[in-house]
Structure 1
């Protein structure tokens, strides 16, 4: 309701140089509550009062108090990126930098801030869930989750808008996701190596408790079956360079005649190449190697890496925008989005197989 008393000039003191909500109300000639409603959406504010407040905001250079505003709008203007991985892996794996870049791009034209939460152990997980339930953020994006991360499934029960990057284990819930065609990517890798004449194949799969690794292994196995080849030896790694190298050492010890390896991430593929070369094997002369992700490191490695590409920046941007849509329209639950994968051929598979491989 309009204040009938004439407007008074806002008081300024050396101790309070910035205009307050009271100053704004005085300058606009309205009550404090009307000024508050006017700057927080205009609910139950007359056009005249709204115009008066907007003029006063411009005249005073008033900046709303974000904490006070959140009491009215019930919004924090923050979203969480939840990564249930050790700090060291998050800092070392370029995958996570790409995800953060994409989400930040999605938020570029908004006032929404990104909060990074890394949850590793059970106590961290419960603390993370309490934080997410506590009204500190308007929504969450979860990436690199594991089957044992039960708290991730619990998010669907909190009502907090949530988007997964990567297919969640529990697809029956209302939680939606953005992913690449990991099954199709694994199939592409098998077809490529088979097409090169490689027949004694092996794979370094990712962790068995992650859906991306499970789906890539499934596609790889299906691709071999299509070519009439038996299931290949499988060693699981942890998506790191060290894990890939350890898996490669085990493979060549147990299967010294292999002539092609598919690693379910670029970092593991680089570790495979290092281990093979340290053992005196040439890449791709003796053993062709293909990775997955198409990170920048794949193209700049000493042996440039053939890989399966997934548009991670685009996927992260899409996840961020989907979350903003869900926050604005709670319960809308956007449909899952699956991006296609492609093969990028480089030197690690570029030459013909050895004579023994071609005659096998």
Structure 2
């Protein structure tokens, strides 16, 4: 679903000062004049299976894709907590006293069914959004233009999102008007950034690819790039081959040894992965380094073994990485993005496997899919 709005609107600090109510058929070419001036929030949301990312007001927040129902008292004052439809929720982290706990990646059609919860969770987890809402008293109006990255149909997401017309946080009631909704394919912001780079490196190029390592998947997507904007082809999706699979291999490798129990928790392993570094030894060799909680031992060697096992033993990772190598041999550029490439050893490991100048890791790869949309509008 794409809503076209008047580009003559004034912009200031990421907020648009105008009211436009789009037609329900999703295409507006002659928006009516504003009856009143309001603060319009511009937000870009990537509600994925593993993470909910939200870019607004110059800041990108990121929380886990978990939806918990809780008692009212236990949600007061917490990040990601809100009341909607007479039910209290905490979104983005695991509530220890949750009545129910929904992990989106394990829920069939979870990204569609719980899309309103994830968007409200993104809003209430962001440090600036609610502070930017102008109003007096206990009831305020939030008007938002939302852009969404998803493989689901935009019509389905928008229809579900419209159910969320009001929510409350810490006793403050917020009415919501979803002024416009635009749905893009996952990774489109990264593709826009890649499109700009390839036009500089090879203006005659007809195609490039993006390699996206997310939490649950590893995906190779072709883009035709002769026009002003890239056009996506059919993505080659490696289900289950993302960061979560690296975490599992890392956990298995790190559990060997007398103090293996100290790193048995996947939460600790994921944290150790996120803070891992690439170091250079005195003889000029690279090595990976990260420390396990409690034991404080360096398990960087375990991470290297985990990445080799991921490459060699996980069907999705092995298949996609072979496809990437074939694309590079064909003379095409591959641009890397996704949260996996935020981990320095993961990015280094893949670059060492391919050894091609046409394999390029995009800046801020974990958030480029969101910020790239804003930068190229």
TM-score normalized with structure 1 length: 0.33
TM-score normalized with structure 2 length: 0.32
Larger Rg: 1
Higher percent of residues as strand: 2
